[in-house]
């Protein structure tokens, strides 16, 4: 049954063109991220963009001092210190017109320059996420989103292998 679910979910996600990831960590929730989510969904409905854009509450992005954080996929634009009142502008400018909302971009303290993508931020650059690779990308309470990002792929692989091959794979991995 799990493998059937695993095989169904990625196609459901492929119909969506844009994702708006909103931090659902404790600090961001305390700073009204739930209201931001509701405001973004209302703005998407008003503009007719809700069919191709999905708002997802994620786990913590880890950069709490800059929260609430909103990340736009597929272009990885990283908005910081977002307020519910910013939702209309984010949808109108970013989703509808394809323009970044400059005032919400992270500003590097050493250069004063806007850094639109988190992979270029000094805070994130040295980090290599393995176990937490989905943190900040999926709703941690939605197993379908986990499966759509290859959650349980290793389990599905192992279930189709012979036991001696499984053991050899573990030995080879060094675990």
Residue 39 lies in a domain: yes
Residue 168 lies in a domain: no
Asked if 80 and 69 touch (Cβ cutoff 8 Å), the reply is yes
Asked if 69 and 82 touch (Cβ cutoff 8 Å), the reply is yes
Asked if 117 and 78 touch (Cβ cutoff 8 Å), the reply is yes
Asked if 70 and 36 touch (Cβ cutoff 8 Å), the reply is yes
CATH of the domain at 112: 3.40.30.10
What is the average pLDDT score of the chain?
A: 85
Confidence band of 116 (pLDDT split at 50, 70, 90) = confident
pLDDT score for 4:
62
Instruction: Concatenate the DSSP letters of all residues of 1-66 into one string.
Output: -HHHHHHHHHHHHHT--EEEEEE-SHHHHHTTHHHHHHHHHHHHHHHT-TTTEEEEEES--S-GGG
pLDDT score for 146:
82
Overall number of domains in the chain: 1
Q: Kindly report, residue by residue over 120-150, the tens digit of the pLDDT.
A: 777 766 767 676 677 666 777 788 888 887 8
Q: Kindly report, residue by residue over 28-78, the tens digit of the pLDDT.
A: 999 999 999 999 999 999 999 988 899 989 888 888 889 899 999 999 999
Kindly give, in sequence order, each residue whose CB lies less than 8 Å from that of residue 82, ignoring residues fewer than 6 positions away: 22, 36, 68, 69, 70, 90, 104
Residue 173 lies in a domain: no
Asked if 18 and 53 touch (Cβ cutoff 8 Å), the reply is yes
Give the domain extent around 38. Answer: 11-148
Q: What is the largest CA-CA distance in the chain?
A: 58
Residue 87 lies in a domain: yes
Asked if 114 and 79 touch (Cβ cutoff 8 Å), the reply is no
pLDDT score for 137:
66
Q: How far from 112 is each of 98, 108, 119, 144, CA to CA, in Å?
A: 24, 5, 17, 40
Residue 98 lies in a domain: yes
- What is the token pair recorded at 167? 């053991």
pLDDT score for 98:
94
Q: How far from 110 is each of 33, 78, 80, 122, 125, CA to CA, in Å?
A: 28, 18, 17, 10, 15
Residue 5 lies in a domain: no
Residue 101 lies in a domain: yes
Residue 170 lies in a domain: no
């Amino acid at each position: 049954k799990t493998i059937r679910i695993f095989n169904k979910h990625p196609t459901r996600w492929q119909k969506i063109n844009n994702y708006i990831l909103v931090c659902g960590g404790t600090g961001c929730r305390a700073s009204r991220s739930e209201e931001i989510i509701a405001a973004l969904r209302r703005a998407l409905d008003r503009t007719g963009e809700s069919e191709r854009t999905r708002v997802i509450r994620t786990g913590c992005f880890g950069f709490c001092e800059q929260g609430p954080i909103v990340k736009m996929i597929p272009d990885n634009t990283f908005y910081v210190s977002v307020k519910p009142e910013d939702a209309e502008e984010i949808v109108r400018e970013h989703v509808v017109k394809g323009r970044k909302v400059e005032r919400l971009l992270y500003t590097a303290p050493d250069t004063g320059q806007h850094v639109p993508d988190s992979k270029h931020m000094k805070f994130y650059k040295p980090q290599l996420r393995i176990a937490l690779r989905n943190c900040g990308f999926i709703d941690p309470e939605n197993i379908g989103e986990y499966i759509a990002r290859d959650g349980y792929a290793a389990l599905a692989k192992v279930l189709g292998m012979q036991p001696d091959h499984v053991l050899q794979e573990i030995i080879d991995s060094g675990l």
